[in-house]
Structure 1
Amino acid sequence: MTPTLVGLDTAELTALLTQKGLPGYRGKQLAKGIYTRFARDFDAFTDLPKALREQLAAETVIGPCTERSVQSAPDGTEKYLLNLQDSEVIEAVYLPYDDRTSVCVSSQVGCPMACSFCATGTEGLARNLTAGEIVDQLLFMQAKHPEQRISHLVLMGMGEPLINLPNVLKALKVLHDEVGLSYRNMTVSTVGVVPGMEKLAQEDLPITLAVSLHAPNNALRSELVPLNEKYPIGRLMEACRDYVNTTKRRITFEYVLMAGINDTEKEAHELGELLKRQPLCAVNTIPYNSTDVAARYQRPTPEAARLFREIVASYGVTITQRYEKGHRIAAACGQLKRSALKPGSAMRPLPLFQTPVADVISDPEQAA
């Protein structure tokens, strides 16, 4: 594959050019064009000599993401299917709100976690994304919308970010240091990969950690989230407490409400009991978003969702319902999946459960 520039910070870009015998300030100019002007073509780097632009165009590409297709919703949400250099594809979502502009990006091609209600999880894992491929999803969408600066990032797209932690951390650093995105406006999601949570806590970044809980007891959670068999709720809650104690940052528990499955009064009381002593936490409920792979799950009625929130709140737990965007174009939580496959390719089925989670965390190349 052709080397890409996105994902390299200013120091790395400077080193790349000085190795070619060029002055160091050219690296700063290159970084500025990539990360603050969001240039997608070398012709846009008018502060660089033409000969250098031609050399870079012959030897590298700016970013690895190119548009394959886009779907738009009436609320302004856009879902992009993006080609990568190896012909794999990923999805990313542009989410405009009245008070901010957010993007939801992927961390892997596919996902190995196999959550029973999630379209992405049915496809297995092809590979991890590089730091540049993670960063470039935001840069690509920013270039599409130059009139509105992207202010928030959520790593809730395809994949489990904490299995790809080294590349995720590098991407967050580049987005903070080079693009200027605040760490406090970044959210990283996990289904509860405990070793990854422990490593992320040690980084002590002021990001938001979102833990996909979805059930208040082990029997139901194991049915919905197979990883619960390895890290059951008690172990997960311990990791959450340790994360809060280390970072002093609040954890958000994501809870997809599915009619008759996990939205009854019984589960609401169990969730309240589970979280009433959990420090610095809030629950974000999400009515189930329909997919073509899990027809047995249905959205709850508004009355059932409201009663569920009221019961949990009676335990002193902060609980809200997420403002929904993108459902009509399958761009909402749990709906992202690869809409196209490269010829002859096939996802590897559930490699995470063929390899111990701790091994995948310590050696992320196993999933690459």
Structure 2
Amino acid sequence: MKKGISVILAGAMACTAFLGGCSGKTSGTSSAAGSAAGSSAAVSTAGGGQTYTFRYSEIQAPTHPASKADAKFAELVKEKSNGRINIQVYYNAQLGDEKSGVEQVQYGGLDFTRASLSVLSEFDKELNILSLPYLFSSSDQMWKVLDGDIGKKFLNGISGSKMVGLSWFDAGARNFYTVKPVKTMADLKGKKIRVQESALMMDMVKALGASPTPMDYGEVYSALQNGVVDGAENNWPSYESTKHYEVARYLLEDGHSRLPEMQLISQKTWEKLSDGDKQILQDCASECSQVERQLWAESEKDSQAKVKAAGATITELSPDELKKFQDAMKPLYEKYAKDYMDTVNQIQATK
């Protein structure tokens, strides 16, 4: 037995010596791997360190200007984060309608969405200011406001609803269009006008002497065709893409509402991020906002050309007639912006 134990001990010592030599080689390999890992970690740390896959809800089709801008945002973020942050955009309301998307972002079920003020004002009443009819005199004036301190204030203000505003998107000016000619405010009297289910929009139509008729967007074409409503209101691309000009051939270019839209991230998602990653998202959101504005402008011009070529009649309001529309809105300013008139005055004073 003693002889057997001696043999085993001798073998173990030999094996230890052998492994010691192997250990030296392995140590060299591990050191090289450690250097590579350290290099990789340094790159990751510079960009925030973590790898993420986020979901972005979009109700529009991939060809819509906002959807194209969403895609550009995802592309920029992936590029500037060295592939660490991936944003998957879901189009055509695959993840729910606009209001549902905002609600999911609010509680963290979704990471990103883009939403109109008509929806967001339910979460932040002060946003009703930006929905006030005839608030902005032009697109240029609106962007001076939104790109300045007032716009930043509204983006930051949504944080009270557990969301972070990243940037603004354009959605153009909204105009009235009708089955029969309307050239003045008096011509609108008694007309049934389809509007969104928004108290502000319904009050606006009432103030102009017409009858607001809320209904689902998909029902508007047949409602115009069958006389259920006398008219509706929307922006140029929507008027053209829905072919509403086929059954409501008279457009009154009054520009009653210029409703920007907001790109949002969930507060829960935002708080997961490093300062470096937050800056990446903010920079990319600002850049894609500029892309969306250009895409929107191109889409608007294209839609105008198509509608006019199809024989629609476009009426521009004279300055005197426009003032009548504006004056009719004074009760709405009192009702919806009474506590925010300082901000309203700042907006209107911006030139």
| Bigger proportion of residues as helix | 2
- Greater relative contact order: 1 or 2 (C-alpha under 8 angstroms, separation 6 or more)? 2
Is TM more than 0.5 here? no
**TM-score tier (shorter):** under 0.3
- The structure with the larger Rg is 2
Q: TM-score, normalised by structure 2?
A: 0.27
